[in-house]
Chain A
Amino acid sequence: MMGRAPRVLAAWLRRAIVLALIVALIGTLHNVGLLDPERLLRAARNLAIFGAGLFPPNPSTLPTLGAAMLETIQIAFAGTAIGFALAVPLALLACPLLFGPVVTAPVKLVLALVRTVPALFWAIVFVVAVGFGPAAGTLAVAVYSLGYLGKLLYETFDGVDPEVIEAVRSVGCSRAQLARYALLPEAANGILALLLFMFEYNVRASSIMGFVGAGGIGFYLVGYIQLLRYDLLLSGLLLTLGVVILIDRLSAVVRRMFLVPVASPVPAE
């Protein structure tokens, strides 16, 4: 049992920690300039101007934006496909069911290094490499997807039912056959879900590739901001929103068509 004095001390300690956190928060808000009333007032005024400028949305540039949006989707589609094609073999090499740590550890390290670089930075790298345009954006999305899909895929492989792996291993197959006949089909649900998620994510990510000249609708969006044409900007944002919702719906249809029921109940005899 704790005596009265230690209990009081513990209660004071808790209060002191909460107080210290509050002081730290206030100090941080001051340092980032969010406790400056004049600045906050100016921000509110600017937001009001920005908000008023957004409406009504101006559809006059929709044909141009539509073409740019199509390019954005193409960047996301091709980038996801290339990233996936590269990620699957690397994820298999990183899978401890198939290889020992001598192989898995370096592959995991490479994937981690790829992931540490943000997509926009990869876009800058590839604009330098292949010049302005959607090719740079596609390569940036591909490399970015490789880092994330590689990690998520090898984690999916790790999660495959060990009994299925044991059963297929027991037939005396090779590691490549084990991957082909057990790991990949058994992880197919997870792979498809990841692929659809990555594509949806990449459509959004590709929307800002144009900020650094790597193609897509982002080039126009940043231009409208710089020209203070917020009404045109809103049209572009609404178009992006519509496309993202559409892709989300299409993904749901694809999932329903291809995914195997997870529980897989045994029907009655």
Chain B
Amino acid sequence: MTSPNHPALEATNLWFAYGAGRSGLHGVSFAAEAGEITMVLGASGSGKTTLLKLCKGLLGPQRGEVCVLGRPVVAGRRQRLDPAVAYIPQHLGLVRNLAVLDNVLTGALARVAQLPSLLRHLPAVEHRRAHALLERLGIGHKADEKVHALSGGERQRVAIARALMQEPRLLLADEFVSQLDVHTSRDILTIVRGIADGGVAAVVATHELDLIDRYADAVIVLREGRKVLDRRAKAGSVADFALALRA
């Protein structure tokens, strides 16, 4: 459980630079609370993906620190990452040659025995859990299909099921509804809302303003790697956020 003294996620003064010509992050700080959806708004290249990768530990900040549930995130290219933080990349990162169920089961890899898992033998309880998640997300009947045969919305659900399989305390989702139609986007974000209501902190990067009203509890706006706005969603209007994006 989240300690009462610590937010689920606390990023402090994060600095990150790529090579020349590619913007990074310049001293970004923010916090995300359990049970809430924090939306990270920004145009392409504003640093949303970099911020989420720093929070996951896929990148290490040149300055600053990320803490999840009060513990610092240790980054490294070959470091084992914390399964309590689930990460859904923009194009979902599903393994095309694996079946839906196998993709979901990968979410359990951190807590199962090594050798049997390498022989693709995972405990029955994990199989039951994966099936239950797929049923809950409405794609139980697709468990044995290969991912490449699914529709966009179904793939999104598989990615969410894999993330939930980790039993996360923090969910990081990077523009993962950007390629869906409005109706499907709303379905998926309703699922994320349900996950947050279960006590998980959700951080969703997006450039779509119209999702804020309905789903966000807190909003931060990034522009050229700098945080230009950090506000409760109810404390601002869509016009405020649009202005912050473009100003």
Any chain A CB within 8 A of the CB of B35?
Answer: no
Interface string of A245-269 (1 = CB under 8 A from B): 0000000000000001100101111
Contact B80–A171 (Cβ < 8 Å): no
Would you list which residues of chain B between 63 and 120 have a CB under 8 Å from chain A?
78, 80-83, 85-98, 102, 106-110, 114, 117-118, 120
Contact B110–A171 (Cβ < 8 Å): yes
Interface string of A164-203 (1 = CB under 8 A from B): 1111111111111100111001101100000000000000
Interface string of B133-155 (1 = CB under 8 A from A): 00000000000001011111101
A176 to B155, CA, bound (A): 25
Q: Assuming the A-B contacts A181-B106, A260-B148, A269-B184, are A176 and B114 also in contact, with contact meaning beta carbons closer than 8 angstroms in the complex?
A: yes
Contact B148–A261 (Cβ < 8 Å): yes
Q: Assuming the A-B contacts A180-B117, A266-B152, are A171 and B96 also in contact, with contact meaning beta carbons closer than 8 angstroms in the complex?
A: no
Any chain A CB within 8 A of the CB of B162?
Answer: yes
Residues of A within 8 A of B85 (CB): 170
Q: In the A-B complex, list the 7 residue pairs whose CB atoms are closest, starting with the nearest.
A: A167-B93, A172-B110, A172-B83, A173-B109, A170-B87, A264-B148, A185-B97
Contact B90–A163 (Cβ < 8 Å): yes
Residues of A within 8 A of B78 (CB): 98-100, 175
Contact A177–B152 (Cβ < 8 Å): no
A99 to B78, CA, bound (A): 7
* A-B contact sample (10 more), CB < 8 A, given A167-B89, A181-B95, A182-B106: A163-B92, A163-B93, A166-B87, A167-B162, A170-B58, A170-B87, A173-B109, A181-B102, A188-B97, A260-B97
Contact A164–B184 (Cβ < 8 Å): no
Q: Taking the nearest CB of chain B, how far is it from the CB of A195, in angstroms?
A: 15
Q: When the two chains form the complex, which single residue of B91, B97, B114, B155 contacts A177, counting CB atoms closer than 8 Å?
A: B114
Residues of A within 8 A of B107 (CB): 171
Q: Taking the nearest CB of chain A, how far is it from the CB of B183, in angstroms?
A: 8
Any chain A CB within 8 A of the CB of B181?
Answer: yes
Any chain A CB within 8 A of the CB of B193?
Answer: no
Sample of 16 A–B contacts (CB below 8 Å): A99-B78, A163-B89, A163-B90, A163-B91, A167-B92, A167-B94, A169-B58, A170-B81, A171-B165, A172-B83, A174-B114, A180-B117, A180-B120, A260-B146, A266-B151, A267-B151
Any chain A CB within 8 A of the CB of B56?
Answer: yes
A260 to B95, CA, bound (A): 11
Contact A171–B151 (Cβ < 8 Å): no
A176 to B120, CA, bound (A): 12
A98 to B107, CA, bound (A): 19
Interface size class of B (residues with CB under 8 A): 35 or more
A169 to B183, CA, bound (A): 31
Q: Spell out A's residues near B (CB within 8 Å).
A: 98-100, 161, 163-177, 180-182, 185-186, 188-189, 260-261, 264, 266-269
Any chain A CB within 8 A of the CB of B50?
Answer: no
Any chain A CB within 8 A of the CB of B166?
Answer: yes
Q: Taking the nearest CB of chain B, how far is it from the CB of A180, in angstroms?
A: 5
Contact A166–B93 (Cβ < 8 Å): yes
A260 to B150, CA, bound (A): 13
A175 to B82, CA, bound (A): 14
Q: When the two chains form the complex, which single residue of A163, A167, A173, A269 contacts B152, counting CB atoms closer than 8 Å?
A: A269
Residues of B within 8 A of A186 (CB): 95-97
- Nearest chain-B residue to A268 (Cβ)? B151
A189 to B82, CA, bound (A): 30
- Nearest chain-B residue to A258 (Cβ)? B97
Residues of A within 8 A of B87 (CB): 166-167, 170
A176 to B53, CA, bound (A): 22
Contact A177–B89 (Cβ < 8 Å): no
Contact B110–A173 (Cβ < 8 Å): yes
- Nearest chain-A residue to B53 (Cβ)? A166
Residues of B within 8 A of A163 (CB): 89-93
Contact A171–B162 (Cβ < 8 Å): yes
Residues of B within 8 A of A167 (CB): 87-89, 92-94, 159, 162
- Nearest chain-A residue to B87 (Cβ)? A170
Q: Taking the nearest CB of chain B, how far is it from the CB of A71, in angstroms?
A: 35
A171 to B171, CA, bound (A): 11
Q: Assuming the A-B contacts A163-B90, A173-B110, A180-B117, are A185 and B151 also in contact, with contact meaning beta carbons closer than 8 angstroms in the complex?
A: no
Q: Taking the nearest CB of chain B, how far is it from the CB of A173, in angstroms?
A: 4
Listed residue (A170, A177, A269) with the most chain B CB atoms within 10 angstroms of its CB: A170
